[in-house]
Amino acid sequence: MRKIRLKSTPASRLEEHLLRELNEQQRAAAAAPDGYNLILAGPGSGKTRVITYRVACLIASGVPPEAIMLVTFTRRAAREMVHRLDPLIGDRAARVWAGTFHHIGNRLLRRSAALLGYRPNFTILDGEDQLDLIRLAMDDAQISGTGKMSPRPAEVLHLISFAANIRRPIGEVIADRHPDLAEWAESIAKVGQAYAARKLSSNCMDYDDLLLQWSRLIDEFPEERKRQASLFRHLLIDEMQDTNAVQVKILEQLAESGAGNLTAVGDDAQSIYKFRGANYDNILQFADRHPGAGIFRLEINYRSTPQIVALTRASIAHNQTGFPKELQSARSDGVLPLVVSADDAYDESAFLCDQILDQRDRGLALGEMAVLYRNHYDSILLQGELLARGIPYTIRSGLRFFEQAHIKDVLAHLRIVVNPRDEASWRRLLLLIPGVGPAKASALFDLLAKSDNPTAAIESAGAMAILPPRSKGFFAGFVADLRKLRATDPESHPAAAIGAILKGGYPSVVKQKYERPENRIADIEQFALLADKYESLDRLIADLILAGDIYGMDTVSTEEPKDVLVLSTIHQAKGLEWSHVFIPRMVEESFPHRRAIEEPGGEEEERRIFYVGISRARDELTISYPLCLPRGARGPVVFTTPSRFLTELEPSLYERAQVESSAGAGSGGSWPRLA
């Protein structure tokens, strides 16, 4: 009988793909032998492709798909990898345990929750649920209602979560990160215990528990650890540099108790999430923890031009720790990165807008450009200039500046000066006063509304009589602040009015009410600088309110408009890329951040943030810095020092330019320049 050979089998097709679609470095990593392996993947080096082919190769070698755990840091990454697996191995791709740590932990905990005192139908708390429960736990621990300015529930929840994820006592975390809360350390520890007890009694877990209880399960129950370890012949982890102490412990315990096959993929130079609890040593010391581990390097960059890659490589080489980098570009020549100095922050913003519009006129869509910054508040003057030019933009680093709660609070102060009968603004401000709820706020506003002189009515004995005793002192301070605010002549000097708000009691409100109060106060200081370009409070308020109507589409639409400029912190931009990237405010104390460089390893982490930022650019990279910055509206001008991340680079790696300031640049000459 004649035999007919199939022209292509799944294994032969995979081999064809490996030869055609992967370079030599990628093939070696994808086909790595069993055991412990570390794949160091530089920016744009095809990391996702290699992980996908690694899984395909394991399945082709006989490993059942359901015996592979692939851990990613986003659900989108997991979906993308499974989608890429489908044409390589068919519908078996869906059987791989692919997902985030929390997703996989949830699946495994459902099977064994009874060992931990939970029932399998436990529910998962969302953010609001967590805050509700932490408030009850604070009552249990008698941390609230003491008459002191107790920590905010969100602050307490963050401390409990952070301490758990880095596996350190909460007292140590408070001493290191929040010494101002030292007197509350013992009470916060009690809140943590009460919070845990309430979760258990209500059969609920929060997101941290999906890791912490999973870790406890394999720690305290050896049989369960063996059972889970036997489920998985191979473990793969993406973004190893972003793991915290709990995550890496879970993976390594399962690998050690099982087949001993763990592949870690990542880039030590992109470790930038220490503030979230990520431990840089998890990737840096991988080979030390696992002697004999294979190390594979992906150093061919398919994203960026040789000029951008050269600058990226030279910058990260100044770090003393980390794996050596020999990054190379696979692309043809491009233009040198451009480093631009401007006289001040206003000229810098005008220059950026000029460049963005010029690029658009040359055919590059706004969506192919991004402005990436170290600190969100560094974008505020630029946002004002974008609004003035009519350039639509979207914010990836949170809410648009003018939509944030603390900025709305400041606007409410300004609006009641312009219009003392503005009910919405009065209610917003009155509800900030401790002890004043909706009913008291309504009663106070009714008093103002009935008066011929609302300004006098707010200072009357009748207004004070409406308040509960605990609120009277706060209210008196609020009224005094309003008096000082009006004395600045805010109609003609809006910047001075914002300065008065900063000198009053509102910063204390920010510290008590909001997370990251230092950043929010910095936002308001930048708002004052923006306001200094306006001669009229009416125009400032109108511009900001109308701007929200015109360009607020990104806050209500689930799909981001394509032809819209992207503004983002570098932290939020990790993993993304654009044709042209702009990085502004490259000065000492801003980038690197002044507080970060005071911490151990802080300068190197800041340089890694810079590395991530510049490596987002495919074709063009523009870095800018102002030669001086004002310290507060109409305050003293401080001359800046260019960032060390620029001055340490060889000048041949970039082109230099200087903005020529001209009267009225950027705003049609209608705004006065800063003196």
Cα–Cα distance, 247 to 240 (Å, whole number): 10
Q: Identify the weakest region by mean pLDDT among 353-357, 537-541, 578-582.
A: 537-541
Instruction: Give the model's confidence band at 148: pLDDT under 50 very low, under 70 low, under 90 confident, else very high.
Output: low
pLDDT at 665 over 60: no
What's the distance, CA 579 to chain centroid?
A: 22
* pLDDT tens digits, 335-345: 999 999 999 99
The dihedrals phi and psi of 623, each to the nearest 5 degrees, come to: -115, 135
Of 662 and 79, which is predicted with more confidence?
79
Q: What is the pTM of this model?
A: 0.80
* pLDDT tens digits, 596-647: 888 889 999 999 999 999 999 999 999 999 999 876 555 567 899 999 999 9
Calculate the alpha carbon distances from 35 to 260, 263, 283, 653 in Å.
6, 8, 16, 41
Unique residue bearing structure tokens 């870095």: 623
Cβ-Cβ contacts under 8 Å for 196 (sequence gap 6 or more): none
What integer pLDDT is reported at residue 552 of this predicted model? 35
What integer pLDDT is reported at residue 672 of this predicted model? 28
The token pair at 511 is: 């510290």
**How many residues are listed for the chain in this entry?**
675
Give the 3-state DSSP-derived string for 188-241, with helices as H, strands as E and coil as C.
HHHHHHHHHHHHHHCCEECHHHHHHHHHHHHHHCHHHHHHHHHHCCEEEECCHH
Vertex 633, ends 632 and 635: CA angle to 5°?
A: 65
What integer pLDDT is reported at residue 424 of this predicted model? 82
Q: What is the mean pLDDT of residues 496-520?
A: 87
Strands 338-342 and 617-626, bridge-based pairing: parallel
Mean pLDDT of the chain: 87
The DSSP annotation for 125-141 comes to --HHHHHHHHHHHHHHT
What integer pLDDT is reported at residue 13 of this predicted model? 65
What integer pLDDT is reported at residue 530 of this predicted model? 84
Of 516 and 155, which is predicted with more confidence?
155
* pLDDT tens digits, 297-326: 999 999 999 999 999 999 999 999 999 999
Tell me, what amino acid is at 45?
S
pLDDT at 650 over 80: yes
Vertex 76, ends 70 and 80: CA angle to 5°?
A: 65
Cα–Cα distance, 41 to 266 (Å, whole number): 6
Cβ-Cβ contacts under 8 Å for 87 (sequence gap 6 or more): none
pLDDT at 74 over 70: yes
pLDDT at 546 over 80: no
N-to-C CA span, the chain: 96
What integer pLDDT is reported at residue 309 of this predicted model? 98
* pLDDT tens digits, 368-424: 999 999 998 899 899 989 988 989 999 876 566 777 888 889 988 988 887 888 888
Do residues 456 and 428 make contact, with C-beta atoms less than 8 angstroms apart?
Answer: no
* pLDDT tens digits, 178-198: 888 888 899 999 999 999 998
The sign of the CA dihedral 306, 567, 357, 667 is negative
